[in-house]
Structure 1
Amino acid sequence: MTGTPAPSPSTPSASGAPLDRIRVGSAPDSWGVWFPDDPQQVPWQRFLDEVAQAGYSWIELGPYGYLPTDPARLTDEVTARGLQVSAGTVFTSLHRGPDVWDETWAHVSRVAELTRAMGAAHLVVIPSFWRDDKTAELIEPAELTNEQWRHLARGTERLAREVGEKYGLRIAVHPHADTHIDTEEHVVRFLDATDSDLVNLCLDTGHYAYCGGDSVELIERYGERIDYLHLKQVDPEILADVVREGTPFGPAVRQGVMCEPPRGVPELEPVLTAAQNLGVDLFAIVEQDMYPCPPDQPFPIAERTRRFLRGCGA
């Protein structure tokens, strides 16, 4: 297996343009998986079976420990279903400074080792939440100090260097609701503070819209910094209520704020077209946050979403 997207036949989009640089996949998140082990989540075998049956060939690892962590076993499991791994995912708190480095690296190195062993080339890096995603309890202030921004930028650059040198992976930092890299202002500040040769983005269309951003504008303005995509939509009516009430992200997800395309925003075909116009190969991994959810809910949504994306040309 390889983490480099392989060529595939061009499929015309609704507008007639082929999206032949986009490689679509899905992730455990689309099956309601947020944690390594949780009785409310579907077993990993069912996720692998259903993601393949829904028509996807690329997956992410999801939370470390949800899928088998033995590379030989995981290779056998994904290969048997015609799947390949595009990326692993880690959470970090690098804004807290050098004191958290050892703990961060212990976690990152485990995930990076498995990611490399599965032939993937990307490590998605999500900043830690400033309020708990289960209880909504405030963990720390929502705004960083100038010193914390410096810690975040320098720590992320160090992480990129170490991951690249030791594992041959590229990091893609994921702006995310209820983290310190969320709004357009914060995303741009982070990009301007980091070395473009080291640090790039995983643009999640749903999270960016949730936080008021325009994905197409970001791609057109900072295209050289977009290294990976997560495809997701937000229900604008539920989002308006979330914003009005100041609802934390976890409860907002339980209200259905992240919805099945094409029912929400942003429109995905313009996003995919903008990404295609960058002229580079990009993974576009479907993620529809819906933790927790009934076990029979994800599969039909995944099938419909794959069909919808094919209609967009991806």
Structure 2
Amino acid sequence: MTEVLDRIRVGSAPDSWGVWFPDDPQQVPWHRFLDEVAEAGYSWIELGPYGYLPTDPARLTGELDKRNLRVSAGTVFTALHRGPDVWDSTWDHVRQVAALTQAMGARHLVVIPSFWRDDKTAEILEPPELTSEQWTHLTRGMERLGRQVKDTYGLDIVVHPHADTHLDTRAHVERFLDATDPALVGLCLDTGHYAYCGGDSVELIETYGERIGYLHLKQVDPDILADVVANQVAFGPAVRRGVMCEPPTGVPALEPVLQAAQKLGVDLFAIVEQDMYPCPPDKPLPIAVRTRRFLRSCGV
């Protein structure tokens, strides 16, 4: 009999419907996403790119209520490794998303570091390794952001290691966690991105469990990933090749990840994100239905 993992709250996100941008003709309309994510059996969603879903709290609340949906988190992108000069522009972006996230009753803000390689064109934007000074800017900046988001909006930030950013591999993630205050900075563990960058999600949960504040559930196709790594393919083109695949066909196995997370003894969101930008409009819903069925078989 499957163990019931009662500390894990499952949801999905616009990302699983091929949504990467606030407005893009290749993406499904927001109302279709809301209809289909509810039809697939999910009750929690993320906001996705700011401006994709309605940004008026009253309107968005009404749209969610009639579909029995709730928001688990908002998402922001940052480039805090560039130092204090980017703080004001960063905060202008963060406060918009944080205000809507707070208004929707969510408690988490997912923070993604900026890309060093353009995710569409593969252009190298910055060196893939940070200098010691940039590491200090990144860690101190994230602590400042965590403090200000908590003080102003009552939200916890969870920083998301991501392919083609400076926070990707096990070594980088551990360096970041060891250099930041647990009271101010949590981690959003994305199982797919961490595997993409060579990490072991179960090991990270068992080693740094007190820092895990949020989960993204995702798998990678190991054969496509091997080619992506061998040929230094950028993340965007890798997604178009299908590197992020439908569970349970890829790695890591999600059941051990969920069981390890359950053992932490805290309530955690586990939000499904299967990167598929761009994708045919009729593709996401059947995948979402099958993924929700699979996760139920895992006990969530």
TM-score interval, normalised by the smaller of the two chains: over 0.9
What's 2:54 paired with? 68
Alignment partners' CA distance in 1, 2:4 and 2:63:
32
Alignment partners' CA distance in 2, 1:61 and 1:80:
17
The 5 Å alignment of 1:1-314 reads: 13=2, 17-314=3-300
Alignment partners' CA distance in 2, 1:79 and 1:141:
45
Alignment partners' CA distance in 1, 2:118 and 2:172:
20
Q: Which letter does structure 1 place at the counterpart of 2:174?
A: V
Alignment partners' CA distance in 2, 1:51 and 1:277:
28
Alignment partners' CA distance in 1, 2:122 and 2:84:
27
Alignment partners' CA distance in 2, 1:18 and 1:70:
37
TM-score, L = length of structure 1: 0.95
Q: Deviations over 1:137-179 (max 9, x none)?
A: 1111100000000000000000000000000000000000000
Question: Percent of pairs identical after alignment?
Answer: 80
Q: How many residues align?
A: 300
Alignment partners' CA distance in 2, 1:204 and 1:64:
20
Secondary structure of the 1:24 match is: strand
Q: Which letter does structure 2 place at the counterpart of 1:140?
A: E
Secondary structure of the 1:222 match is: helix
Q: Deviations over 1:182-203 (max 9, x none)?
A: 0000000000110011111000
Alignment partners' CA distance in 2, 1:221 and 1:198:
19
Q: Deviations over 1:218-265 (max 9, x none)?
A: 000000000000000000000000011110000000000000000000
Alignment partners' CA distance in 2, 1:265 and 1:271:
11
Secondary structure of the 2:271 match is: strand
Secondary structure of the 2:225 match is: helix
Q: Structure 2: give runs of 5+ residues left out of the alignment.
A: none
Q: Structure 1: give runs of 5+ residues left out of the alignment.
A: 1-11
Structure 1's consecutive aligned runs of 4 or more residues displaced over 6 angstroms after TM superposition are: none
Q: Which letter does structure 2 place at the counterpart of 1:173?
A: V
TM-score, L = length of structure 2: 0.99
TM superposition shift of 1:135? 1.1
Alignment partners' CA distance in 1, 2:295 and 2:65:
24
Secondary structure of the 1:19 match is: coil
Q: Which letter does structure 1 place at the counterpart of 2:232?
A: G
Q: Deviations over 1:46-89 (max 9, x none)?
A: 00000000000000000000000000000000111000000000
Secondary structure of the 1:201 match is: strand
